[in-house]
Structure 1
């Protein structure tokens, strides 16, 4: 009788990623009831600590309100994987997230780095591959320029820093040296970065894509099983026009788009304490209304960010509790939820070269 009542109470608790109750999902394991004391294991669809903490509070509160006491709760993170039909999975990688912009200079790499660190600080195993072959900026942002090595299997061994695994073209060439490669060489390098690298059991591999819709972008949308994509833009019309092209590119190859991140969205004046839209007002929101793709975050313009990011110690690492870092943890929460929610149904990947009849 007590077991039935406890399960009724726990059925009011919803998994943060799948948004279904933990009982009907079968996530409540090894339930033990000793009088009013309740102990059980709980499967969670995301690896983020903030989600586990929220679940603990819900379980503890609801059980307490119904005359029980939560004695022991052990979490079993089981990161959901977005699967594709007809795509080769990347070894030791559960999910891949493309972070793209149609235009350069919108802060995409800064967002990629800080999002990766926010996910890692919340308990996820994260890697970043910098696929901006012609203009890699990740090494500068994380203060790391040493060349990567290969293991005995001739796999690239990514650098590890700030609890994240990193790989970039900037680890192979001297700083400032130009890369003059054509399509086939770019395609081969992207293949090696993704499939011939010793990634260590990642929950999320973030792919920092180059701006535009050229050879590298097409290789990245056609080759790996992309779980989802984020589109980064700024409020200016020229950036929004190019961001739309990115939306269309992912749409054509049926990659789910989690949402839009608008960078440099507003500036808070130190004297009047009001928010000002320097580069335009609500551009991303208008695009979201027209396309149906939600705006996940509107990040501020701040004079502090360039100096922090140029120091080699990213914002989320240096000062994770600061107001400037807070939106990245919010974004990490939404990304983990969004990927988990898309994991329940395999995606049939169409051949982009197939002819319509």
Structure 2
């Protein structure tokens, strides 16, 4: 890993920076290896059945994979977007209490549609429709009642062993039900919603795409910003090195066992060996925006300066790639952990912590 620290203020990153254009090229190469020549699933119907599905929260990492997949796959091949939302009794009770204190002529929003990842997912879906004309995007809204979460809890607990904390359970539950791929759909093509809807759809895709690894490689967690604030580039580099070194032990085994339970294979474009090696050798200021000058210098166009506004330093390199691909809204999405976005964390009232051991 490149542990070098800049002797002076590092140069700014722009959409046209060499590191950004090469990042896009290398990510495309990694993704192409994982989605081209995928065999047709049983009962494949041309133009209807999907070979590829994306674990889709609407965040930066997964939406970027979906957008690049559009450029690689034939345009008549549908892509399924698996979006998960849970009934969280604690959150539902709070919402009910708040509604009882106010008078509104509007009907209450579904507890599932109110989930943060459902909101960002639908927003990103709309942006994909706009930027990718001709592609059929099938947004699969996977709603999981609390009773169903409890019914599958022991299975998830067995699959994720030897991991055994509350946080592991929260993450594993979200991945487990998302990879099952069962939900309601609204199929859209060319940016226009069609009448092809189903309340009981199961994806035909045998290959799932995951954005795992992007946060670790490009400093996407909140603790990366804390490390930089406390110890500068040295602290930031140490935090990135720690995250990357424990990826296999902390994430991959657990996620792979849970995701493969339903007979699907998950592929991780951000963890391609060549891609990871290239990212690790790049300077830290070519991955994220911590310590970069702001605003942009005068030799950058006013239009690009405007586009760069509101871009967080976390994973700035990936955010600039998203801007290059016209994903303006997605490029500005803040990082949200899956357990909070899908609302699998802290389903019961109490003072449980993510590090608590499961009973």
> Would you call these one fold, judging by a TM-score over 0.5?
no
Query: As a proportion of its length, which structure holds more helix?
Result: 2
Find the structure with the greater CA-based Rg.
1
TM-score (norm 1): 0.33
Higher RCO (C-alpha under 8 Å, 6+ residues apart):
2
Query: As a proportion of its length, which structure holds more strand?
Result: 1
